[in-house]
Structure 1
Amino acid sequence: MSSTPFGLTISYLAYPERTTLTDPKPVFSWCLEDGTQSVYQLQVLAESGQVLWDSGRVASAQSIGVRYGGSGLFSNQKFTWKVRVWRVGSSRGSAWSKPQGFATGRVWLTPFPQPKNDSWENRNPLELTEIEPERIIKRGDGTYFVDFGRAWFGTLYLRGPAAARVIVHFGEKLATKNSIDRKPPGSVCYRTTETLLSARERVLVPTPKSPFSSGARRGAVLIPPGYEEVLPFRAIEVEGWPGELKKEHVRLHALHSAFDDRAAAFSCSDPTLDAVWKLCQHTFKATSFLGVSIDGERERTPYEADAYIAQLGHCHMERDWALYRWTLEYLLTYSTWPTEWAHHLILMAEADWEFTGDTTFANRLWERLERKLLRSKARPDGLLVAGAIVDWPQAERDGFGGGVQATDNRQMAGPMVNSVANAFYWHALMGMARLAKALGKPGTDYEQEAERVRKAYHAVFLDSARGVFRDGEGSTHASLHANLFPLAFGLVPDAHVPTVLALVKSKGMACSVYAAQYLLEALFAEGEAEAAIKLMLAPGDRSWRHMLEMGATMTAEAWDAKYKPNLTFSHAWGAAPANLIPRGLFGLEPLEPGYGKVALKPQTGGLSWAKLTVPTIRGPLKLAFDTRRGGFAFEVELPGNVTAEVTLPGEKTPRVLGSGKHQLRT
């Protein structure tokens, strides 16, 4: 008997029964435990049980993006769907999958993202999780300290043994093991309020107002209707509590998007790297409380680079592609100002295609994406004339351009023809060329323009004598950033890779949390996994080890408050290890959009062993390596309809594997 399909999604939503869809012709996807599918049969049923569409037996291996073929689905109705399959080499079909429910909203209407955030169609639902305290301590002055273990965006409920007025202090960061930090750095949360307890019922403690203007900025996202305002806090201190405060008296209600904590897993021989991975996982869950990828508590605003880095990590930990589709559309309406931030939207569209295998989303956004290339800023040789943000805050730029400010925006860096903006421009052109080919659009224009930019890039920025890239036209300075971005994007000529790599390695972590994504990406790509892992875990104040030492329970916006005085402890762009571990350490890369065919090029990174589970649209990939018995042992478990090209350390020819469990060794 073939394995029963599981992991059903509809319109790339894992939890469609708790939201509403507007597409009258949605698409269905499912996972197989093993084997290769040869035939499928799919049924869609009305709430009454009537079969609205039966695909019949379809001879096809397609298991993602199967479009509804029945009559149009009407608005405001409930449905279920199920699927069964036949595998290659088997005449017996599987059992029907467990039915998945879904409901329609206003069919044919596509919700357009607005700051009021009042529509919840076509995206996974928000959930409230009740968190009980991990520790309650009564201090000598009678004040109670209550620790929930990690910070969440949430609300607080109290039920007193007697009516009383109490003072509640909320803290995102601890000062000591049993006290919150009432003077935290930057925009890390500390607030206080008074509330009246009831002896008869649980009461919501009013959320203290933010000291900064949350939601005032154009494009800031507001709490959706039906939910109380939240704030990020890990612990509270309570003054004036009548009697003994027990666990049953206090609850944190954490607001977040639907999230499966078991979808991904990682462990390794270094406990600090384990802790970093868990820090990232919690960050994605906790910061999803608005259903949109935001930059953190201070602004609650989507930013393009933030969203792209979060997308890469979150979608390697949970099958929530819709959150980033919503964010991408949002940012196409409420764009921000940096030059290369615009290019990140093209990277987001390409990443969505790679994760889902779906081209319809990028096709619908095509004209708006094309404008994000900023081709109107290009001069005759193809290079953009535009400032670049390079890195943020400005002090993290490693002296880029000698401190020259851009004339088009004083927050950006010059020279006006610079290596960072143009590295992203070339990278975005290549992305558009790949998308155009997938969509059946003419892609030669983008390829030709990319080649023109590449030649001009090398002519203008490459210092052949030193074998490194200069910051910009007219500059002799070769910063970390001028070299890490072309190295990460594959823009460095082969002959100069050793010298560019040497410069990059010599600089260490001379960049911000944001640029660290690309710095480590470049190191992993060049086989320098050990150097990358060492930077992640380095002692001092510029690593993820330091985030843990600071007491952050979500990733921080900056390495330390001394580098960015207004930092938050809730910034998902700091969660780069979530994508760098699968993509860099294990060398996971989709060779086909939708992960039907993947590449695996594991590196030890100085670890003696590591295990990883990554969710994909086709099911979980389970990977592990171990060097403790000599040599390199690699275990691979692939779901059905997936093949892998595996290249082990020291090998040049990949081994081709089909679905199932495999044990390899060098």
Structure 2
Amino acid sequence: MSPRHLSSRARPRPEELRVDLQHLPVGIPVRGARFSWVVPQLGDSMQRLHRIQVARSPRGFGSPLWDTGWVTSERSVAVPYEGPDLDASTPYWWRVAVDTDAPGDWSSAQCFVTAADAWGGEAIWGPVAMDEWTAEDIPWVLLRTEFDLPAQPIRAAFVEAAGLSPEGGPTPQGPRGGRQHVYKLWANAQVVGYGSVRSGFEEAMYHTHDLTGVLRPGRNALAALCWAEQGRAFSARLVVVLADGTRLEVPTSTRWRAFSGAMMLPGLGDIGGGWFRAPREDWDMRHEPRGWQSPGFDDSGWDRARPSEAELPPPMPATVSIRHHLGETVRAHRVSGSAPAGSALAGAAPAGPPAAGSPTGSSARVGGGEIWRADLGREIVGGIRLEVVGRAGVRIRVRLGEELEADGTVRSRLRTSNFYEETWTLRDGPQTIEHWGLRAFRHVELEADAGSGLDLSRALRPVVLRSPAMGGGSFTSSDPDLDRVWEMCRYSIEATSQDLYVDTQSRERLPYEGDALVNQRSQYAVEPSFALARSSLAFLVRRPTWPAEYHLMPPLMAWEDYLATGDDRRLREDLHFLEQGGYQHLLDGGLVRKDPGSASEWDADLVDWPQSSRDGFEFTEVNTVVNAFQAAAFRALARIGEAIGDERVAQSYAESAAAATSALNDRMLGDGPSYVDGEGSEHRSQHATAIPVALGLAPAARLPALGGFLASGGMRMSVYGAQFLLDALFTAGRSREAIAQMTARTTESWLHQIDDLGASIVPEAWDSAQKPNMSYSHAWGTTPVNVIARWVLGVQVIEPGAARVRIAPHPGPLARIRGVVPTIRGPVDVDLDRDAGRLRVHVPPNTRAELVLDRAELGIHGHPRIEAPGEWALGASEDEIVLDGVTAGHVQVRWHE
């Protein structure tokens, strides 16, 4: 250690350490890992030197495995590991120290776990062989084992686990698979994780769950509750590294015990929707083996696990995890007394078969009885937990929904045809019942058997399933309505982050490229989280969806990922797929000529969704929207080629981008007031103009007129298409009109969704009149949250890894705006008070910024007083003021003094 660091413990240290972009790093390759950190606010906060050490234990830095020594470098993002190859499935620790113009100190050590090079445990299922399955045995299986640990401190403990198959596809008999996790895993009765996430690769995804603080000396238990309609394989390996370096392993094998869950979770019904088969959970607690997740449970009556008949593909580490978040108790209100005689809960035999189209096992609402209702306050993705003291045989009908019916009851049959209604049967005494799978809902209705005597007012707790929330983004303004829109969109991102950027968890549970592009931008706007965007992009380039324009969006996503992270590995690994998605083979005079297709056909032109939000768009063989995305994809591919040093890619796609852009503007814009929908059309939809402008393809000289056209039309696009309209309005200098769209109270507005529809996550359409089967859980409707970050606060990354950012606030009619936009190098803070004539900005450490101030929009006259760090250059014109080269720290601009 350098002598200058020996007495510097009070100095700020590097924070937000990441390995391969993960805050909780697992599945790290044994060679080529990349380290990132946030430079401390030390001296001028601009890094000049760094030093990285990797060790086998948190106390092993005295003789590290790898030590870079002091390296002269400004790089603090995606710094490659260049030490000896690491061992597979092994914990390591690393730390970093940096010097700015002042000497720094070591960061705290961060643990990371390397990737498995083979399956550590046998694939098992149970409790009977596949050819012995009965209908009642198929879905649910309980698996467990116990093991002893010595009385020695644990250095690290983790489980590598995989379950097949989380997705499933269509069959002649209908959809298969739940498109969700296969297992829920406990260690010593504590939930430690879910898996597996879906894979776009040929390999099977496995998870690494941290158990370091969960295990203890003596007896311990691992337990899993699994469901899979096909695949039916669970593989796991527990790894424990003791303080003295001893390594212990507990793999899955036929020594594990297995128990059928057919009695505990009877029936073969699913939660409906038509796109997948995910199980209803009609829990019968009389048949739950009490304490089965805990050590000391007597499983002598269980069978031995059987080897799975499914063949596991090679393992691939998942970088996205789904966590269990248990909410606070929600007070339920009693709304009725006893169930009427003859109702299902009063003991009468169930009614006849369900109506056509009803999910298996559905029944009519019994209407009365001991009914309790609760509003969770906002929609969640997950389930509920009930903690009750019961009597054997008493039933509670659980109904969940996104909306209430006119009479105040919960609409448990969603507009998407999902059916969230289940029966939970109690046993004697205290018990806890909790959903295993995913549902999207806000309202809860609990109906107990007449005369049960249950008090359910304090029994309910929400169970949220999502990837770890990182937070970091914030926004307030002088317009409370805009703040409410921002918060709904922010929460939409938080609530819908599971294993992929999906359309919705209630219906498709599938990713789409167009949805993912909006989702990615919005997630970057509210939290410095990158794994979900990367996983979704890797999935989609290997499993593309049907719309024509969507095939052209992965290069845009890949470039935004590189700008945000500075890590070029996805560009290199996916370049082949990114090139494949285009329509180079259909170019005719620089533009794509193709059959527009019909809805849901492969390569069909989409333009917008739902169809009612297309503003009368006329489909032609040479489509303006498709060609705008093709030109943008060419441009992104050219940038990607330049970034990875591939001259062929850079040059050929730069030429294609230039030709496509020129042809688009010549043939679709010409001398007109706006773009036409396509070749041979005279119709000028909002989409045909907004999308080329939003993608930066329109000639700069034409932007004022194009902005006027767009500003005069109101919102004629969908919740998804709004991304391009708002981007286009800001690009054309129409910030007032763009902000007015975000705070409008028309049917086509986010405030209508909040105030009139009661939405807390953005719905699929502006209103059910436009799409009667819409749902209320669509993160791709969150355009305002990323538009506010990128345009209103004005923070945009312009060099990879956020090495350089542009800050150009556009408050429009707002007197005050204040917000935080996260980046991988730390948050950018913007605080503007136009009435006071003051702008304050905080540039994060090790970052350079370009500050662009629009004189007219901010009301700046003359020469403002500027205080800013760095050796910046000032450029001033009648229209704007530009400060270029601002470095980390506080910037203040005043112009009313």
Letter in 1 for 2:733: G
Structural mapping, 1:647-662, within 5 Å: 647-650=852-855, 651-656=879-884, 657-662=886-891
Would you say 1:467 and 2:663 are equivalent positions?
Answer: no
The secondary structure found in structure 2 opposite 1:539 is coil
1:194: which partner in 2? 423
Letter in 1 for 2:54: V
1:357: which partner in 2? 566
Letter in 2 for 1:422: N
Question: Residues 107 and 660 (structure 1 numbering): CA distance in 2 closer, same or farther, change over 3 Å?
Answer: farther
Structural mapping, 1:249-264, within 5 Å: 249-261=459-471, 263-264=472-473
The answer as to whether partners of 1:462 and 1:468 remain within 8 angstroms in 2 is yes
1:8: which partner in 2? 17
The answer as to whether partners of 2:668 and 2:679 remain within 8 angstroms in 1 is yes
Which residue, out of 21, 30, 35, partners 2:37? Answer: 30
The answer as to whether partners of 2:383 and 2:438 remain within 8 angstroms in 1 is yes
What is the CA–CA distance in structure 2 between the aligned matches of 1:253 and 1:285, rounded to whole Å? Answer: 14
Alignment deviations for residues 276-297 of structure 1 (CA, whole Å, 9 cap, x no partner): 2221222122212235544442
Q: CA RMSD in A?
A: 2.3
Structural mapping, 1:51-70, within 5 Å: 51-70=64-83
1:150: which partner in 2? 378
1:113: which partner in 2? 200
Structural mapping, 1:19-418, within 5 Å: 19-34=26-41, 35-47=45-57, 49-50=59-60, 51-88=64-101, 90=102, 92=103, 94-107=104-117, 113=200, 118-120=205-207, 121-141=317-337, 142-163=370-391, 164-175=394-405, 179-182=409-412, 186-187=415-416, 191-204=420-433, 228-240=436-448, 242-243=452-453, 245=455, 248-261=458-471, 263-387=472-596, 388-401=605-618, 414-418=619-623
2:734: which partner in 1? 528
What is the CA–CA distance in structure 2 between the aligned matches of 1:612 and 1:344, rounded to whole Å? Answer: 29
> What is the total number of aligned residue pairs between the two structures?
623
What is the CA–CA distance in structure 2 between the aligned matches of 1:625 and 1:179, rounded to whole Å? Answer: 46
Letter in 2 for 1:30: W
The answer as to whether partners of 2:614 and 2:717 remain within 8 angstroms in 1 is yes
The secondary structure found in structure 1 opposite 2:526 is coil
Q: Which structure shows the bigger proportion of residues in helix conformation?
A: 1
Question: Residues 48 and 607 (structure 1 numbering): CA distance in 2 closer, same or farther, change over 3 Å?
Answer: closer
Q: What displacement does 1:468 show? A: 1.8
1:623: which partner in 2? 830
1:431: which partner in 2? 636
The secondary structure found in structure 2 opposite 1:434 is helix
Structural mapping, 1:436-455, within 5 Å: 436-442=641-647, 443-455=650-662
Alignment deviations for residues 256-312 of structure 1 (CA, whole Å, 9 cap, x no partner): 001123x22112222222222221222122212235544442100000000111000
Would you say 1:570 and 2:777 are equivalent positions?
Answer: yes
The answer as to whether partners of 1:15 and 1:125 remain within 8 angstroms in 2 is no
The answer as to whether partners of 2:205 and 2:318 remain within 8 angstroms in 1 is no
* Greater Rg over alpha carbons, structure: 2
What is the CA–CA distance in structure 2 between the aligned matches of 1:316 and 1:103, rounded to whole Å? Answer: 29
What is the CA–CA distance in structure 1 between the aligned matches of 2:335 and 2:642, rounded to whole Å? Answer: 66
What is the CA–CA distance in structure 1 between the aligned matches of 2:754 and 2:891, rounded to whole Å? Answer: 36
The secondary structure found in structure 2 opposite 1:661 is strand
The answer as to whether partners of 2:320 and 2:499 remain within 8 angstroms in 1 is no
Q: Percent identity at matched positions?
A: 31
Per mean C-alpha deviation after superposition, the further-off stretch among 472-481 and 119-128 is 119-128
What is the CA–CA distance in structure 1 between the aligned matches of 2:428 and 2:731, rounded to whole Å? Answer: 61
1:224: which partner in 2? none
Letter in 2 for 1:80: W
Q: Which structure shows the bigger proportion of residues in strand conformation?
A: 2
Q: What displacement does 1:610 show? A: 1.7
The answer as to whether partners of 2:798 and 2:804 remain within 8 angstroms in 1 is yes
The answer as to whether partners of 1:13 and 1:124 remain within 8 angstroms in 2 is no
Question: Residues 175 and 133 (structure 1 numbering): CA distance in 2 closer, same or farther, change over 3 Å?
Answer: farther
The answer as to whether partners of 2:30 and 2:88 remain within 8 angstroms in 1 is no
What is the CA–CA distance in structure 1 between the aligned matches of 2:475 and 2:752, rounded to whole Å? Answer: 20
Q: What displacement does 1:523 show? A: 0.9
What is the CA–CA distance in structure 2 between the aligned matches of 1:279 and 1:176, rounded to whole Å? Answer: 24
Structural mapping, 1:567-646, within 5 Å: 567-629=774-836, 631=837, 633-646=838-851
Q: What displacement does 1:176 show? A: 7.2
Q: What displacement does 1:56 show? A: 0.8
The answer as to whether partners of 1:483 and 1:504 remain within 8 angstroms in 2 is yes
What is the CA–CA distance in structure 1 between the aligned matches of 2:595 and 2:639, rounded to whole Å? Answer: 25
Alignment deviations for residues 558-603 of structure 1 (CA, whole Å, 9 cap, x no partner): 1111111221111111011121011011221212111111111101
Question: Residues 115 and 307 (structure 1 numbering): CA distance in 2 closer, same or farther, change over 3 Å?
Answer: farther
1:407: which partner in 2? none
Question: Residues 42 and 636 (structure 1 numbering): CA distance in 2 closer, same or farther, change over 3 Å?
Answer: same
Q: What displacement does 1:494 show? A: 3.3
What is the CA–CA distance in structure 2 between the aligned matches of 1:364 and 1:645, rounded to whole Å? Answer: 32
Q: What displacement does 1:497 show? A: 2.3
The answer as to whether partners of 1:287 and 1:294 remain within 8 angstroms in 2 is no
What is the CA–CA distance in structure 2 between the aligned matches of 1:603 and 1:200, rounded to whole Å? Answer: 61
The answer as to whether partners of 1:591 and 1:597 remain within 8 angstroms in 2 is yes
- TM-score normalised by L of structure 1: 0.89
What is the CA–CA distance in structure 1 between the aligned matches of 2:407 and 2:332, rounded to whole Å? Answer: 11
Which residue, out of 702, 725, 729, partners 1:496? Answer: 702
Q: What displacement does 1:130 show? A: 0.4
The secondary structure found in structure 2 opposite 1:119 is strand
Letter in 1 for 2:654: E
Question: Residues 252 and 202 (structure 1 numbering): CA distance in 2 closer, same or farther, change over 3 Å?
Answer: farther
What is the CA–CA distance in structure 1 between the aligned matches of 2:736 and 2:574, rounded to whole Å? Answer: 39
Alignment deviations for residues 316-370 of structure 1 (CA, whole Å, 9 cap, x no partner): 2122211111111111121111111011111110010010012121011111101
Gaps of 5+ in 2: 1-7, 120-197, 208-316, 338-369, 597-604, 856-878
1:225: which partner in 2? none
Letter in 1 for 2:540: L
Which fold has the larger relative contact order, with Cα–Cα distance below 8 Å and residues 6 or more apart in sequence?
1
1:663: which partner in 2? 892
What is the CA–CA distance in structure 1 between the aligned matches of 2:58 and 2:852, rounded to whole Å? Answer: 52
Q: What displacement does 1:13 show? A: 1.0
Q: What displacement does 1:29 show? A: 0.3
Letter in 1 for 2:547: P
The secondary structure found in structure 2 opposite 1:562 is coil
The secondary structure found in structure 2 opposite 1:98 is coil
Question: Residues 158 and 112 (structure 1 numbering): CA distance in 2 closer, same or farther, change over 3 Å?
Answer: closer
Alignment deviations for residues 40-81 of structure 1 (CA, whole Å, 9 cap, x no partner): 111111137442111111111111111111101111101111
What is the CA–CA distance in structure 2 between the aligned matches of 1:133 and 1:574, rounded to whole Å? Answer: 30
The answer as to whether partners of 1:587 and 1:600 remain within 8 angstroms in 2 is yes
The secondary structure found in structure 1 opposite 2:724 is helix
What is the CA–CA distance in structure 1 between the aligned matches of 2:787 and 2:793, rounded to whole Å? Answer: 9
2:139: which partner in 1? none
1:215: which partner in 2? none
What is the CA–CA distance in structure 1 between the aligned matches of 2:759 and 2:81, rounded to whole Å? Answer: 45
